[in-house]
Copies of this chain bind each other. A is one copy, B any other.
Amino acid sequence: MHRSFEVTVLGTSSAAPTKTRYPSSQLVRLEGDYFLIDCGEGSQHQLVRLGLRMQRIKYILISHLHGDHFYGLPGLVSSMALFGRAEKLTIIGPAALKGLLDTIIQMTESRIPFEIEYITTNPEKAETVLANRKWSISTVPLKHRIPCTGFVLKEQGPELRLNAKVCESMGVPLEWYEPLKWGDDWQKEDGSIIPNAMLTLPGNPNRSYAYISDTIYDESIISHIQGCNLLYHEATFLHNLQERASETHHTTSKQAGQIAAQAKVGKLMIGHFSSRYQQTDDLLLEAQEEFTDTLLALEGLTVSV
């Protein structure tokens, strides 16, 4: 049985908000854990509006220090404090973020009654920043005007599933179920060994979600996102503004489709639309010409990975 792994879009706008679009933010839910990726101004408001419980967020991932990706963070942290959070919050992002948030907390004389742990991203190097038995978070170096990383969230888990019929008929005790899924042989009480292969079947492959924040068109990211089930890639402009995209270190919708095609991902979701586009249909069509299985990010949309 697949575990839950889904992305809810909170904001799809680049730079400035529009009447209907918020700046960048997404909530990822992976087997009970909540991750917020980027936190543009108004992200806490979107969480409230969509009925998503902010206190369940354990990890906040910030791609870079442009305002449309983190100006919602001080307000979110304040509200978490106001509503009595006690649980630790882990913030993964650029090195300067800690100092900036500390300064704001101090100047506003805010009392934050919970621990904030910071994990610093390295914009020069892809690396796994956090991992446990259930999932891992890795960074992808991106080429933007300031240091910036993307993120890959990947399920971790047993590569095997139980062959339920055989286990039951042989009377495997319940406490052996988990070790078997991880590849152990069954050692019976009498000391005899039943090989793992008799008791298990190949498991479901681990799914992954890649979040590619602000970047110029850059094929060097492909190796890091190869074959992911869902790729979010920024698509700030239509391709007729390719020069403007390049100057500002952004990607066109066509280019986002090209990256998805080369990386052979399952699905592509595009977002971070320039406020000049009131309608986003053309952005979708342009990406779909390069990669059919493309969808538009939209405030409130939940996509299953």
Q: Which residues of A contact B (CB under 8 A)?
A: 15-19, 22-23, 41-42, 44-45, 48-49, 65-68, 71-72, 74-75, 78-79, 82-83, 96, 100, 103-104, 107-110, 145-146
Chain B min CB distance to A108 (Å) = 5
A73 to chain B, nearest CB (A): 9
Bound Cα distance A109, B94 (Å): 14
Number of this chain's copies in the assembly equals 2
Question: Cβ of A18: which chain B residues have Cβ within 8 Å of it?
Answer: 48
Known contacts: A41-B45, A71-B71, A72-B41. The answer to whether A15 contacts B79 by CB under 8 A is yes
**Are B75 and A71 within 8 A (Cβ)?**
yes
Chain B residues with CB under 8 A of A104: 67, 100
Structural contact, B108 and A66, CB atoms closer than 8 A: yes
Contact: A74 with B67, CB < 8 Å?
yes
**9 intermolecular pairs with C-beta atoms under 8 Å apart:** A15-B78, A16-B44, A17-B48, A41-B71, A67-B75, A67-B78, A71-B71, A108-B146, A109-B145
Complex CA gap A75/B6 in Å reads 29
* Distance, CA A103 to CA B103, complexed state (A): 9
Q: A103-B100, A103-B103, A107-B96 are in contact. Are A45 and B17 (CB under 8 A)?
A: yes
